[in-house]
Structure 1
Amino acid sequence: MSLQEQFDQAAANVKKLKSLPSDSDLLELYAYFKQATVGDADPANKPGMFDLKGKAKFEAWSGKKGTSKEDAQKAYIAKVESLVASIGLQ
């Protein structure tokens, strides 16, 4: 299975977790997913100071700046696998 296929499968598995992961796990998943699919976050698109959720997501994503698409995919897959092991799938 190619890295892209593993990534796509991991993205599908996230939606099938038995329960919602912690906020920090969700932010990490979001950041790696965006880095793998979009690339580095654009500072021009930073949410306003009153958008706390958007700001947290943007900062998590910005923290992955410089990570290659492949490395971000691998990190995302590893994170999903650890969540599946601890939470389980439906």
Structure 2
Amino acid sequence: MDQQLFEAAVAASKTLSQKPDNETLLQLYSLYKQATEGDVNTEAPSNPFDFIAKAKYDAWGNQKGKSKDAAAQEYIDLVNRLKGK
């Protein structure tokens, strides 16, 4: 993984001209977490009504088994597609 490209994509994700939809935001979040921490390593949210925390946890869990490098490259590619819109 090219750490500089990844860090540039992280910075660019915060300055997109349009805010991505919720599904895309979850994808960005889950790829970032997988690229920086690996497989999900926390307990599922205990509050059944905290829908945002549950969605984020589930999205990250869906990346399980993906290498940090692969997740970082997917993150970079996604941010580049969003910048092109």
Bin of the TM-score, shorter chain as denominator length: over 0.9
Give 5+ residue unaligned stretches, structure 1.
Answer: none
Q: Equivalent residue of 1:45, what SS? A: coil
Q: Distance in 1 between matches of 2:70 and 2:52?
A: 25
Partner of 1:63: 62
Measured after TM superposition, the shift of residue 22 of structure 1 is: 0.5
Partner of 2:34: 35
Q: Distance in 2 between matches of 1:45 and 1:85?
A: 36
Q: In the alignment, does 2:8 pair up with 1:47?
A: no
Q: Distance in 2 between matches of 1:45 and 1:76?
A: 24
Q: Distance in 2 between matches of 1:70 and 1:32?
A: 10
Partner of 1:74: 73
Q: Distance in 2 between matches of 1:45 and 1:7?
A: 27
Q: Return the letter of the residue paired with 2:14.
A: K
Give 5+ residue unaligned stretches, structure 2.
Answer: none
State the Cα RMSD in Å: 1.1
Partner of 1:7: 6
- TM-score with structure 1 setting the length: 0.89
Partner of 1:23: 22
Identity %: 40
- TM-score with structure 2 setting the length: 0.94
Runs of 4+ in 1 over 3 A off after TM superposition: none
